[in-house]
A and B are shown apart, each in its own frame.
Chain A
Amino acid sequence: MVNKKRVLIFSILSIIFVVMIVVGLMKNDISLIEQFGKFLCLDCIGIS
């Protein structure tokens, strides 16, 4: 029973996360990540 419950939770969460990735790709989150990554993060190096 516990296993069935776990499988159900696992399946639901997997679907949710895959949908989130697809939505993120459609919203072009990847380009946003690229923009943040390409430039020196002043907050990260303690200058702001």
Chain B
Amino acid sequence: MRRISQVFFTILFNSYPGVNPGERSFMYQGSLKKVCVPILNCYSCPLAWGSCPIGSFQQTLKSGIIPFFIIGFFGIIGMLSGRFVCAWLCPFGLLQELLYKIKSIKITIPGFMRYFKYGILGLTVLIPVFWHEPFFCKFICPAGTGEASIWQILMQPMLINSIGFFFTLKYMFLIVFIAGSITMKRFFCVTLCPIGAIYGLFNRISLLKINVQKDAAKPNACTECNNCRNHCPMDIAIYRNAAHFDCIRCMKCIDVCPNGSVSSNIPYFNQGQREDASSGDISGSVSPG
């Protein structure tokens, strides 16, 4: 179901069909660009209908204006669902999950690297304010390179005359991104994504929650078998902290838990719970499917 949702939203956000050589600009320029999508999706992509929230955020700050609307937008999405959109809507998350399926050496990301994205978020806020440069878009964003740059340059070859240091830097980072995504679980989301960093701050208080049954007296108590971590696309042990800032609410842990210890406060997501687990005495908010 999640894969269908990811593909659906990837197409929904990136299906502008009007690319034709007669246009001066090879991208959608209609009024839908007023709308920010809630995930990382470059607005210079020839197929994009909407605007990138982190790009708009930085450009607004760069202009010396406080981006009230975008801060409120991030806040409301985070309050409702935490990082849910990272798992169910983000095309970049889908791409990384597909890249990780390529057979290769697999590496576990060290725990401290999870905090890098908060450094990136800090620079994403401070550099546009003090140096008037969109730090994340200019130096890092692999979405801009992969979704926009390659295609814009192919369609407008005269842009090649303007390439320089930043172009090389961004393509080098794109290579690092691809290599990282093949070898590490959601490498970019875990270590660098500033949007994920923002939403992650709300995991503790968001409406959508994950619960883990830790009461040993209950028949569905967590045994810490680590099956959830082995299947987790973000490589977190949900039983240690059900509101972990990197939990993207993919609900995979609910599906794979052999005891039915993990559940969501939204009954729909508990339908995937293992039937053998749900046949016992399931307590609390768990609604076996």
Contacts and interface: CB of A to CB of B under 8 A. Distances in A.
A10 B79 contact: yes
A46 B43 contact: no
Nearest to B202: A13
A37 B166 contact: no
B163 A41 contact: no
B75 interface: yes
Chain B interface mostly:
helix
Given A20-B75, A29-B69, A45-B149, A37 B167 contact: no
Interface residues of A, number: 35
A7 to B, nearest CB: 9
A19 B258 CA distance: 44
Chain B contact patch, size range? 35 or more
Nearest to A13: B79
B155 to A, nearest CB: 11
B69 A30 contact: yes
Contacts of B60: 29, 32-33, 36
A6 B36 CA distance: 28
B87 interface: no
Given A46-B169, A47-B159, A38 B33 contact: yes
A47 B164 contact: yes
B171 A33 contact: no
A46 B144 contact: yes
Contact of B205 (A13, A18, A40): A13
